Structure 1
């Protein structure tokens, strides 16, 4: 395949996020990359797609910055761009959880390599904790994992008391690429949990390096692919169509834009429901036409990749 998808993050202090965003945006434009990148005082988080050569140049440029010496790229193949646009934004946190005071680069859970995680996950004194949102773990999760009923990662701190029953266990946290675990494990440590670990590089790295063993179902990803296979050792299907209840892994967005829920809906039921997750959504006057995919990316017509860049240009010194 001629394209690559890069998933990455790095917690590190950035003195001037706005200036860095401007510079980084221009770098991505020069390499024809597309994707979503978040910049904050606490670091950098992104998923981008591009050609093999452009992605290689981007990785080299980022790693040349000493502030990102610890950054690791998860690299996957793709037949084409998995994003339609490029967004580089400054936000309070590189993953929104409402805990900007927690600095994972100062203290966080013990990082486990995929192989270390694989060897530890089934031990009697271990709890494997999924810190992702419910629509993500409904599609796929580690065998016997503890999952949380949360619609967004920012709800994670509210679930800590539910986890007190595991306080004497070793808690192995995991997420898609590792970034959520950095703050989740740091927060657990702050709350008095002592034996906290995290799967370094997340599900994606585990699939690439450990064959995805015992990860059941597919992994939800935040790009045009929607879901990817992880397990090449003992794959299975755990998701069910919300309408007929049959095993299926077809993740769609509800055709009602005011709902837009991420749900599993088989092809037959999706056609019958016209892409809607419920009768009410199917009858909603604003329901989007169902085109058979269940994905509704914003049109990229007239997209200006320069949008958001400062018009200021520093004067040339003589």
Structure 2
């Protein structure tokens, strides 16, 4: 039986000619028949890829053999099937969109919060002078978060800088930041230090590593992931479900994307309401003419949709795709 793995990783490093690197890296991934999503920028590499155990081994060995990426740490999950449909590798200005592009202010290669290994984080998180800060988006922390964590009302990580003032009351506390795999904390902790916070830490390897090495203790709910698994279990010590159905309020750990592609909102919905609402978040979306067929998963792959003829008389297409969030 063929065995598969899914790899989650990032590395802040300098990549010259990042656009060309992205194009070449895409061909390399395709040669290994990997699927996934990778972001390449001048500041580094951020990706999740999936494939056979052998292909993943070759991929990791090749990446780690490059001196630029020698410090990359891969979080490895064994999966029953590849976690993506296709392979994408794209160049972008940042490997996680924060809007903080001035290296004189924020440069994770030079200064970030103190990295805590999972067991160190677990030992420190319940002390009186500690604040646990979730730097992820609403739909992520609504599905699962650490017990007693401070969460922010943000739709995307790029909204985080605007929320710094709300955290000013914690300046005399130890701030423990966390996110899915650690990449957002690199910039979040650096920004907190820049803004005058003194004791700033981050969970090294994020929630995923914490689940593997510390049993996920006190992480309540499930962890949102950016592939067709949608979410994964983290806590094997004292698990609890905290998320509720958008439509009826019943406790549920199931998160989907709205079947209306023009909405495509991430939200929690129980199976009963999923059937009733046809995978939509509202009655308005349920009656939308472009509503996709709900198969019970709430995960949708690219579906070309014909739109208008362009100036040359050729048919243009747009595509539906659940957005990639770093």
Q: Offset at 1:299?
A: 4.9
Using structure 1 for the length normalisation, give the TM-score.
0.92
> What are the Cα deviations for residues 266-318 of structure 1, in whole angstroms up to 9, with x where unaligned?
01011111111112212222222222222212259xxxxxxxxxxxxxxxxxx
Counterpart in 2 of 1:42? 43
For the residue of structure 1 that corresponds to 2:181, the secondary structure is coil
Counterpart in 2 of 1:71? 72
Q: Which of residues 247, 271, 274 is equivalent to 2:251?
A: 247
Q: Offset at 1:127?
A: 0.3
For the residue of structure 2 that corresponds to 1:29, the secondary structure is helix
Unaligned runs of 5+ in 2: 305-326
Q: Which of residues 199, 202, 211 is equivalent to 1:195?
A: 199
Q: Which of residues 170, 174, 183 is equivalent to 2:174?
A: 170
| Counterpart-to-counterpart distance in 1, 2:133 and 2:171 | 12
Q: Offset at 1:15?
A: 1.7
| Counterpart-to-counterpart distance in 2, 1:219 and 1:238 | 11
Unaligned runs of 5+ in 1: 301-318
Matches within 5 A, 1:1-318: 2-101=3-102, 102-299=106-303
For the residue of structure 2 that corresponds to 1:19, the secondary structure is helix
| Counterpart-to-counterpart distance in 1, 2:54 and 2:292 | 38
| Counterpart-to-counterpart distance in 2, 1:284 and 1:268 | 20
> What are the Cα deviations for residues 5-43 of structure 1, in whole angstroms up to 9, with x where unaligned?
000000011122123223322221221111001111100
> What are the Cα deviations for residues 153-194 of structure 1, in whole angstroms up to 9, with x where unaligned?
000001000000111100000000000000000111111111
Q: Offset at 1:129?
A: 0.3
For the residue of structure 2 that corresponds to 1:50, the secondary structure is strand
Q: How many residues align?
A: 300
Counterpart in 2 of 1:303? none
CA RMSD in angstroms comes to: 1.2
| Counterpart-to-counterpart distance in 1, 2:294 and 2:61 | 42
Counterpart in 1 of 2:315? none
Counterpart in 1 of 2:318? none
Q: For residues 80 and 185 of structure 1, do their structure 2 counterparts lie closer, same or farther at Cα, with a shift above 3 Å needed? A: same
| Counterpart-to-counterpart distance in 1, 2:92 and 2:284 | 35
| Counterpart-to-counterpart distance in 2, 1:249 and 1:162 | 29
For the residue of structure 2 that corresponds to 1:224, the secondary structure is coil
For the residue of structure 2 that corresponds to 1:188, the secondary structure is helix
Q: Offset at 1:111?
A: 0.4
